[in-house]
Structure 1
Amino acid sequence: MNLFVFGLGFSARRFVEREGARFGRISGTVTEPEKARALSAGSSHRVYAFGPEADDPRIAADLAEADALLISAPPGRDGDTVLARYEATIRNSRIRWIGYLSTIGVYGDQGGAWIDETTEATPRSERSRSRLAVERAWLRLGAETGRAVQVFRLSGIYGPGRNPFVKLREGKAQRIIKRDQVFNRIHVDDIATTLAASLDRPRNGAVYNVTDDEPAPPQVVTEHAADLAGLPLPPAVDFETAELSPMARSFYGENKRVRNRLIREELGVRLAYPTFREGLAALVDDARG
């Protein structure tokens, strides 16, 4: 089985690291030609440049010979760049499994209520509206071709090198306080586990929430991380006066508690890190080890 990945970012790279042995050949893309050359030189994988300013001509040949396709690249200004350039190639390929990595942001603000995959997607930001449109485009391709297309809506991703400890050690962490605000999270290893389970049990048209069991206030997670690592606790900052980028501030405009029942019951996924506590504790242990 050959795998092609559009967008070898944090989550996709972890999936390749953990599940690479099941594939005969792995090809993928990054946005910069220099990075593509460096990654190709340091591994057995084929890595190509793909983005607004780059489109390696060798992509089409590898894509035509892929059996599984993972899309982790974000939408472009005019929709999904992968479909815009390679839909015909995909339709004529031997690909039988397609996974699209999306976001729980497509649900918009739910006022802190519990939601699942049956909840209507009502995205608020232009970024999330674009994600929902791309989801629907991929699902439509699955319906038209019979290929198993699955959408994975991810919550806040963390893992090695991308977690609260990093900002705490750099002195950049904030304990932002907003009344009743909660977020779900997901460890990158649990994303990889879910994708592998879907490869074993494909279902065309499936939409899965890939998230942990316990939505929690962001300041609680920061406090727990500081305690585990023995690092100073940053001062509490009121959300209204906090220095945040427009994108970071937009995340606080959406409040929801997301259920993950479907990945457990349909795919048989057992999360290694069902809450932030297990995930953070494992990251501390890895660092000390």
Structure 2
Amino acid sequence: MRLFILGLGYSARHFARKFGGSFPHVAGTVRDPGERTDLQDIEVHAFSGSRPADATLERISEADVVLVSIPPGSNGDPAIAAFGGVLAGRHRKIIYLSTIGVYGDHGGAWVDEGTPPQAAFERTRLRLAAEQAWTDSGYGNVAILRLAGIYGPGRNALVTLRTGTARRIIKPGQVFNRIHVDDIASAIMAAIEHGRGDTFNVCDDEPTPPQDVIAYAAQLMGVAPPPEEAFETAEMSPMARSFYASSARVSNAKLKRELGVKLAYPTYRQALDALWRAGEGR
């Protein structure tokens, strides 16, 4: 199976590093290939939303698996707009990376793939529209992976503590869901190998108040955690504050049951322990 990755971001790059050897050919897009030196063994193409080069169109037309990691814009999904013509030429496996943010606020209650999404924000509406566009496209067997908050090497509470950017914002009843990038990679591969398309939540076993994660990381590092800040009075950007408008516990039961994914890091504690041993935050 030839793999083409639309958007070589953090999660997609990690997938390519972990499972790229499973494919005879791997290609993907970045905005500016000249600025990227971290993509060895990947044939890199430029794409920033405008018309792609003919060579890019040819490569994606040959792909058996397309991993879509480009977010929608105000005018819809740029990948469908740019590549829909060549993707329509043959049936293939398409994995679309979405977000659990589409569920909206449920007051900390449990939700699963059968819970109707809520488009409380424009970004949520655009995500849902993109999910539907790929599902209805007829371009192939489409799997929608709704990702929780992503963390892993270089992007975790140990790093933010060490750089002095960690905060403990306290909003009673607030929980966030998260997922280690290794487990995202495993979920993508399982979805590729799965016989049909569907929607799956990709998150760990333990939705948790965000301040608890910071406190645990501080304990590992042997440092004092940052002071608690009340959500109501904390200085935050409108975007950061908007994430606290939604609180839900997202179930991963379907991911385990139907895709057979066994999480390497079922809780943030196991993941932070491993990251600390690997030298993160030092």
Q: Under a length normalisation based on structure 1, what TM-score does the superposition of the two structures give?
A: 0.93
| Pairing of 1:27-106 with structure 2 (within 5 A) | 27-35=27-35, 38-39=37-38, 43-52=40-49, 55-93=52-90, 95-106=91-102
Q: Distance in 2 between the 1:7 and 1:211 partners? A: 21
Deviation of residue 241 (structure 1)?
Answer: 1.6
Q: Distance in 2 between the 1:230 and 1:60 partners? A: 52
Q: What letter matches 1:275 in structure 2?
A: T
Deviation of residue 57 (structure 1)?
Answer: 3.3
Deviation of residue 198 (structure 1)?
Answer: 1.3
Q: Distance in 2 between the 1:267 and 1:222 partners? A: 31
The match for 1:212 is: 204
Deviation of residue 199 (structure 1)?
Answer: 1.4
- The equivalent position to 2:244 in structure 1, one of 234, 243, 252, is 252
Deviation of residue 33 (structure 1)?
Answer: 4.2
| Pairing of 1:177-256 with structure 2 (within 5 A) | 177-204=170-197, 206-256=198-248
| Cα deviation code 1:202-226 (max 9, x no counterpart) | 312x000000111000001100011
Task: Tell me the secondary structure at the aligned position of residue 148 of structure 1.
Answer: strand
Q: Which runs of 4+ in 1 moved over 4 A?
A: none
User: How much identity, in percent, do the aligned residues show?
Assistant: 49
Task: Tell me the secondary structure at the aligned position of residue 194 of structure 1.
Answer: helix
| C-alpha contact 2:52 2:82 (8 A) present in aligned 1 | no
Q: Under a length normalisation based on structure 2, what TM-score does the superposition of the two structures give?
A: 0.96
Q: Distance in 1 between the 2:129 and 2:199 partners? A: 14
Deviation of residue 54 (structure 1)?
Answer: 7.0
CA 1:122–1:31 in 2, change beyond 3 Å: closer, same or farther? same
Unaligned 5+ runs, structure 2:
none
The match for 2:132 is: 136
| Cα deviation code 1:132-174 (max 9, x no counterpart) | 0000000001xx35x2100000000000000011110011111
Unaligned 5+ runs, structure 1:
none
Find out whether 1:16 has 2:9 as its counterpart.
no
Task: Tell me the secondary structure at the aligned position of residue 279 of structure 2.
Answer: helix
Q: What letter matches 2:7 in structure 1?
A: G
Deviation of residue 34 (structure 1)?
Answer: 2.5
Q: What letter matches 1:120 in structure 2?
A: P
Alignment size in residue pairs = 281
Deviation of residue 86 (structure 1)?
Answer: 1.0
| C-alpha contact 2:51 2:82 (8 A) present in aligned 1 | no
- The equivalent position to 2:260 in structure 1, one of 235, 257, 268, is 268
Q: Distance in 2 between the 1:149 and 1:89 partners? A: 16
Q: Distance in 1 between the 2:40 and 2:186 partners? A: 22
Q: What letter matches 1:56 in structure 2?
A: A
| C-alpha contact 2:50 2:82 (8 A) present in aligned 1 | no
Deviation of residue 50 (structure 1)?
Answer: 0.8
| C-alpha contact 1:31 1:54 (8 A) present in aligned 2 | no
Q: Which has the higher helix share?
A: 1
| Cα deviation code 1:48-102 (max 9, x no counterpart) | 1111357333210100111100000111220000101111100114x52100000
Task: Tell me the secondary structure at the aligned position of residue 287 of structure 1.
Answer: coil
The match for 2:109 is: 113
